[in-house]
Amino acid sequence: MINADHCTGCSICVKNCISDQKSRESKYVVAGDCSLCGACVDHCPFDALKITAQMPLSRKKVDSKIEKESAEKERIAN
C-alpha cells in the first residue's frame, strides 16, 4: 500500500523490486506480480510503503480511485 502523502515518485522502490516492476507506470502493483518480499518497503527512504493483507483492487477500481484522488487534490488546490 502506498501513502501518497509520503511518496515522492523517486522510484527507489521500483529499482529494488525483485519482481518485474521495472516498467510500471502506475503506483499500484497488479495482484500476483508482487512476491511480498518487502524490498520496496525496506528501501523506501520516505516511509511511503507498507505491505497489508488488504485485498487488491481491480484495475478498473484502481483507475477510478486515482481519478477521484486527483480530482480531490485539484479541488483542494483551487
Task: For 14-66, write each residue's pLDDT tens digit.
Answer: 888 887 655 555 666 666 778 888 898 999 999 998 887 665 555 555 556 66
| pLDDT in the model for residue 25 | 59
Residue 16 lies in a domain: yes
Q: Which three cell numbers stand for residue 53?
A: 493483507
- Residue type (1 letter), 75: R
Residue 4 lies in a domain: no
Q: Which domain holds residue 62?
A: 12-77
pLDDT digits (tens, 9 = 90+) for 49-59: 888 766 555 55
| pTM, full prediction | 0.57
Which one-letter DSSP state was computed for residue 60?
H
Residue 2 lies in a domain: no
Structural domains in the chain (count):
1
Residue 52 lies in a domain: yes
Per DSSP, what are the bridge partners of residue 49?
2
Residue 58 lies in a domain: yes
Per DSSP, what are the bridge partners of residue 19?
none
